Amino acid sequence: MSATQDTLSVGMVGYAFMGAAHSQAWRNAPRFFDLPLRPLMTAVAGRDATRVARAAEVLGWAGTAGSYQELVERDDIDLVDICTPGDTHAEIAIAALEAGKHVLCEKPLANTVEEAVAMAEAAERAAASGVRAMVGFTYRRVPAIALARRLVAEGRIGTVRHVRAQYLQDWISDPEAPLSWRLQKERAGSGALGDIGAHIVDLAQFITGDRIGEVSGHLETFVKERPLAAEHAGLSGTASSGRGAVTVDDAAMFLARFASGALGVFEATRFAQGRKNAIRLEVNGSRGSLAFDFEDMNLLHFHDADEDPATAGFRRIVVTEPEHPYLAAWWPPGHLIGYEHGFTHQVVDLVGAIHAGEDPTPTFADGLQVQRVLGAVEQSSHKRTWQEIPA
Ligand code: SOE
């Protein structure tokens, strides 16, 4: 399979949870959307030949590669899609950009601010020759969230005063849940903060169109030691013998001041029993409010304070109309969409931007800005002081 002018040949690194979600998106995007370039699922890369071959077959990739370097060196690859743990993002992304490949990189962009700076600089250099880079903050592409951003931009809730953002999961509430790579600082960079807190930082800034300028935070590790994970253990992985130290935060909370003066309260935890993937956002403005919960992701709650007080109040917008972002391509009104659709929308926007010769958002510079917020929360927790985030 080789790339032509009308195609975009993709090589993906990593094939676990995120690799499966991205594969489905590459496959589905051209089936439901009219794309200017046809994605080719050319090769998936990984070190274990048997597992990679199996992944290629199950996820629908035409071929395999033994390493990311192999993908980066191949002439028939136009874009490298990075679905690996954070400790590999910088190395792979920078190599791919320097080889002239477009890059889609899973979130958070990197494990440290320093790595993110190097990645953003590599992306800026590559952009000069038309090479594009995007970070996978996928929830931006949930239609109800994209609609929330549109309503804020249209002034429908007026001047934003408050942002309340929570990302709540419970998958390590059990102290005997294994020590997966997500609980190891050298692999993941941080814990709940970077893994899920990064999403609500990005979403809060995306919806408001504003920037977090200052934070005061606290990180907590409730369970300091866990059974070692069996090899390749994922979110629900099994334990092996022996125990190891948890080196990341289990939960993160922080206060924020946005550049505009709006106030934010953020919470990210994997210990909220009963909450599986609850991304809860509420924005209060001078003329109204918006509220969203990913566990009911087709709904956006909107209060218009300009309405007659006798009948005003939060109303549920069922975000399935063709007038809503992305939805004209899917099912008739009222026929709901799910988690995986965000990934498909991400591919649609990325392919469109590459074809148009524009930078797809969120850019690596946006990813760096989120990383700076995460770094400032860590510093704040450590020093017990407010921390500024440079513009
Ligand atoms: C695990 O907490 C995880 O898979 C995150 O890594 C994803 O970014 C989030 O969307 C769902 O939960």
For residue 304, give every residue at least 6 positions away whose Cβ sits within 8 Å of its Cβ, in sequence order, or none.
156, 287, 288, 312
- Identify the segments of the chain with pLDDT beneath 50: 1-3
The correct answer on CATH 3.40.50.300 for the domain covering 141-360+370-383 is no
For residue 109, give every residue at least 6 positions away whose Cβ sits within 8 Å of its Cβ, in sequence order, or none.
89, 115, 116, 119, 120, 135, 364, 367, 368, 370, 371
Please write the tens of the pLDDT for every residue from 78-125: 999 999 999 999 999 999 999 999 999 999 999 999 999 999 999 999
- What is the DSSP secondary structure assignment for residue 296, as one 8-state letter? G
Q: Which atom of ligand 1 is nearest to the CA of 169?
A: 2
DSSP secondary structure, 168-217, as one string: E--TT-STTS-B-GGG-HHHHSSSHIIIIIHHHHHHHHHHHT--EEEEEE
Burial class of 130 by CB neighbour count within 10 A (0 to 12, 13 to 18, 19+): exposed
Mutating to test ligand 1, I would choose from 111, 135, 196, 203 the residue with most ligand atoms within 8 A of its C-beta, which is: 196
Domain boundaries, given as residue ranges, for the chain: 7-139, 141-360+370-383
So what's the pLDDT on residue 3? Answer: 47
ipTM: 0.97
Show the ligand 1 pocket: residues with CB < 6 angstroms.
17, 169, 195-196, 235, 277
So what's the pLDDT on residue 113? Answer: 98
Q: How far is the CA of 85 from the centre of ligand 1 (A)?
A: 11
Pairing outcome for strands 288-293 and 299-304: antiparallel
Pairing outcome for strands 225-229 and 63-65: unpaired
Q: Which atom of ligand 1 is nearest to the CA of 235?
A: 1
Q: Using alpha carbons only, how large is the chain's radius of gyration in Å?
A: 21
- For the chain, the residue count is 391
Please write the tens of the pLDDT for every residue from 172-224: 999 999 999 999 999 999 999 999 999 999 999 999 999 999 999 999 999 99
So what's the pLDDT on residue 236? Answer: 65
Query: What count of other Cβ atoms lies within 10 Å of the Cβ of residue 229?
Result: 21
Q: Which amino acid is at 164?
A: R
| Class of CATH domain 7-139 | alpha beta
